[in-house]
Chain A
Amino acid sequence: MININEVRETNRMIEKENLDVRTITMGISLLDCVCNDLGLLCENIYHKITEKAGNLVRTGEEISKEYGIPIVNKRISVTPVSLVGASACKTEGDFVKIAEALDRAAKKVGVNFIGGYTALVSKKMTTADETLIRSIPSALSETERVCSSVNVGSTKTGMDMDAVLLLGKMIKRTAERTKDMDSFGCAKLVIFCNAPDDNPFMAGAFHGVTEGDAVIHVGVSGPGVVKTALEKVRGADFETVCETIKKTAFKITRIGQLVANQASERLGIPFGIIDLSLAPTPAVGDSIAEIFRELGLECAGAPGTTAALALLNDQVKKGGVMASSYVGGLSGAFIPVSEDQGMIDAVETGALSLEKLEAMTCVCSVGLDMVAIPGETKETTIAGILADEMAIGMVNQKTTAVRIIPVIGKGVGESAEFGGLFGRAPIMPVSRFSCDDFVSRTGRIPAPIHSFKN
C-alpha cells in the first residue's frame, strides 16, 4: 500500500516543482473531409473537429481534478492542410478559408491551439504545398489559434532548398504582418526536418497520414522535478547523476501514461504515444538552464553545455521509455529561449549565442526554438539559418526544427514580449555575413549517403 512519504513526494513535485502534464493533444484525420468544393470542405472540417473533440477540454479538466495534477493545455492536431485542401484550394485565399474554419472549430471546443496548417515537402513542393506556404503569413495573422509547420527535409529524401528559401521570405512576411504583437505570428510557425507524425507539442503538431482516424497523444514535462532531484546529488559522479535523472524521468512519465490512458478511455479514442519531454516554462524553477547550473555549469552556454544537454536528453529517454507503453513525438529536452528564464538570462549576460544554441540542437530533442533575431535580418539569412538546422537533422537522422522570430522594429539589446507560456525573447545577434548566393541556387540537396540502408 502507498505510504505517506510517497504521497508527499508526488504532491511536492506537483505543488513546489511545477510537475504537470503539458498537453493532451487529440490528433484528428481530415482525409475523409476532402472534397473539391471549398465551402463544403470547410464545413466538413468544422463538423468533424467539433464532433470528435467536443468533450476534450471537459475530460482533461475532470482528469486534472480527480488526480490533482495540472493538465496545462488541451490541443488538437489535424492532417496536413496542404493535402486536405489540395483539390479545393486554388489560391492562397482559399487556404486561408480553411485556416479560419480550423480557428472557429478550435474556439468552439475551447482548445488554445490547433496544429496542422502544414505542408510536407521534403523533396519537392506540389502546387498545393507552395500555395499553402505562400498563404502562411495571412493565415497566421488573420487567425488566433492556428499553428503552422512545414517539413522541408528528411534523411531519406534530402532537403528542398526552394522551400527553404521561400520559407525565409514567409517568416519575414509573417513577422511584418504581426509586427504590432512583436511579430508573434512567427511563434506559431515551425520549420522541420524529419518531422514526426505524432508530435503533441505546438506549434509543430500535425496528425500524420500514417495515423488512425483519431488518437490521443500526451506530452509530459517536469524540468523542475529533475532539478530538485539533482540538488540531492551535488558533487556526485556521472553515474549517480544519470541514475537520478532516469529515475525522475520514469516517475514523471508514469503520470503521463496514466493521464493518457484515462483520456483515451473516457473519450473513446485510442492512445497514441507519450512524448517524454522536459518542456520548460517561464516560471522560476521550471527551467532547463537551471538543470545545467545544477549539473555544474555557471550558465547555459558555458563550455560543457552541449555535453550536459546530451547527457540530460539521453537519460530522460532512458528513464521514460520504460514508463510508457508507446513513446514517440519529439521526446527529449526542449530548449526554447523565450520560454525558459534561465535561457533568457544566459542570452542577456552574453553566455549563450545563436551558434552555441545551434550546436546544442545536435543533441537535444528539437532545434532553434523561440529565438528572436533583429527585425532587419535578411530573408536569405533566415533561409541560411533554416538550411543549417535542417542539415543537422538530415545528416544525424534526427528531428530538428526552427521557430525563429525576426522582431520587426527591434534590434539586439531589446526583447520581444509574448506573454503567458511563450514568455519573453531577448533579441540575439545574427552573423552579418551573406549566404545570398548559396540559398538562391534552386533545387534540392540530395539525401546523405547513410540514408541508403536497404
Chain B
Amino acid sequence: MKKVIITVVGKDSIGIIAKVCTYLAENKLNILDISQTIVDGYFNMMMIVNFHAEEKEFDTVSSELEDLGQGIGCVIRMQREDIFSQMHRI
C-alpha cells in the first residue's frame, strides 16, 4: 500500500468533492486527509489517499480520474506522495 496525492484544480462548482469522493469510494480507496482552498478564484483541493492496486492499476485509476476531471471542468492529477515528501522534508 502506498500513499498518493490527488489534486483537483478548476473552476468552483457544486459537487466537485462529492464526485471525486464517490469515485474513490467505488474503487475502495481510503481518503486519509482532505484540504481545500480557493486561489485566484480557482478551486484547489488536495487529498491524501491510501492506494492499493488490488482491483485497478495506478495507470487506470489515474486516467479515470483525469476523465472524471474533464467532465466537471477540473484538472485532476494523481501522484505518488514521495515526490512531495522528498522535496519538502529532510
Chain A interface (Cβ within 8 Å of chain B)?
1-4, 6-11, 65-69, 251, 254-255, 257-258
Interface of chain A: mostly helix, strand, loop or mixed: helix
Q: Are the CB atoms of A2 and B44 closer together than 8 Å?
A: no
Q: Smallest Cβ distance from A265 to chain B, in angstroms? A: 12
Q: Smallest Cβ distance from B50 to chain A, in angstroms? A: 13
Q: Are the CB atoms of A2 and B88 closer together than 8 Å?
A: yes
Q: Are the CB atoms of A251 and B77 closer together than 8 Å?
A: no
Q: A1-B33, A11-B77, A65-B59 are in contact. Are A6 and B86 (CB under 8 A)?
A: no
Between A and B, how many residue pairs show CB distances below 8 Å? 58
Which 8 pairs between the two chains have the least Cβ-Cβ distance?
A: A68-B79, A67-B83, A4-B46, A6-B88, A4-B35, A258-B86, A254-B86, A2-B84
Question: B48 in the interface, Cβ–Cβ < 8 Å?
Answer: yes
Q: Are the CB atoms of A68 and B33 closer together than 8 Å?
A: no
Q: Are the CB atoms of A2 and B48 closer together than 8 Å?
A: yes
- Cα A65 to Cα B77 in complex, Å, equals 10
Q: A10-B84, A66-B80 are in contact. Are A2 and B58 (CB under 8 A)?
A: no
Query: Which B residues are CB-close (under 8 A) to A254?
Result: 86-87
Specify which of B58, B77, B82, B87 lies most central, judged by the most chain A CB atoms within 10 Å of its CB: B87
Q: Are the CB atoms of A255 and B59 closer together than 8 Å?
A: no
A sample of 22 cross-chain residue pairs with beta-carbon separation below 8 angstroms, ordered by A number, consists of A1-B48, A2-B81, A2-B88, A3-B35, A4-B37, A6-B84, A6-B88, A7-B5, A7-B7, A7-B46, A7-B84, A8-B7, A10-B83, A65-B59, A65-B62, A66-B79, A66-B80, A67-B80, A254-B86, A254-B87, A258-B82, A258-B86
Q: Smallest Cβ distance from A248 to chain B, in angstroms? A: 11
Query: Which A residues are CB-close (under 8 A) to B87?
Result: 6, 10, 251, 254-255
Identify the closest chain A residue to B33 (Cβ): A1
Identify the closest chain B residue to A2 (Cβ): B84
Query: Which A residues are CB-close (under 8 A) to B83?
Result: 10, 67-69, 255, 258
Query: Which A residues are CB-close (under 8 A) to B86?
Result: 254-255, 257-258
Identify the closest chain A residue to B78 (Cβ): A68
Q: Are the CB atoms of A68 and B48 closer together than 8 Å?
A: no
Q: Smallest Cβ distance from A191 to chain B, in angstroms? A: 37
Q: Are the CB atoms of A8 and B88 closer together than 8 Å?
A: no
Question: B18 in the interface, Cβ–Cβ < 8 Å?
Answer: no
Identify the closest chain A residue to B59 (Cβ): A65
What 15 new A-B contacts, CB under 8 Å, besides A2-B81, A4-B44, A10-B83?
Answer: A2-B85, A2-B88, A4-B37, A4-B46, A6-B84, A7-B46, A10-B88, A65-B58, A66-B80, A67-B80, A67-B83, A251-B87, A258-B82, A258-B83, A258-B86
Question: B39 in the interface, Cβ–Cβ < 8 Å?
Answer: yes
Query: Which A residues are CB-close (under 8 A) to B36?
Result: 4
- Cα A66 to Cα B60 in complex, Å, equals 11
Query: Which A residues are CB-close (under 8 A) to B77?
Result: 11, 68
Identify the closest chain B residue to A257 (Cβ): B86
Q: Smallest Cβ distance from A6 to chain B, in angstroms? A: 4
Q: Smallest Cβ distance from B23 to chain A, in angstroms? A: 18
Query: Which A residues are CB-close (under 8 A) to B35?
Result: 3-4
- Cα A251 to Cα B77 in complex, Å, equals 21
- Cα A258 to Cα B82 in complex, Å, equals 8
Query: Which A residues are CB-close (under 8 A) to B88?
Result: 2, 6, 9-10, 251
Query: Which A residues are CB-close (under 8 A) to B80?
Result: 66-67
Query: Which B residues are CB-close (under 8 A) to A6?
Result: 84, 87-88
Find A8's partner among B39, B58, B78, B82 (CB 8 Å cutoff): B39
Q: Are the CB atoms of A8 and B44 closer together than 8 Å?
A: yes
Q: Mark B22-60, 1 if CB is under 8 A from A, else 0.
A: 000000000001011101000010101000000000110
- Cα A251 to Cα B88 in complex, Å, equals 7
- Cα A7 to Cα B36 in complex, Å, equals 12
- Cα A254 to Cα B88 in complex, Å, equals 9
Find B82's partner among A4, A11, A67 (CB 8 Å cutoff): A67
Q: Smallest Cβ distance from B21 to chain A, in angstroms? A: 17
- Cα A127 to Cα B62 in complex, Å, equals 56
- Cα A257 to Cα B90 in complex, Å, equals 13
Q: Smallest Cβ distance from A189 to chain B, in angstroms? A: 36
- Cα A1 to Cα B84 in complex, Å, equals 10
Q: Smallest Cβ distance from A79 to chain B, in angstroms? A: 32
Query: Which A residues are CB-close (under 8 A) to B81?
Result: 2
- Cα A9 to Cα B80 in complex, Å, equals 15
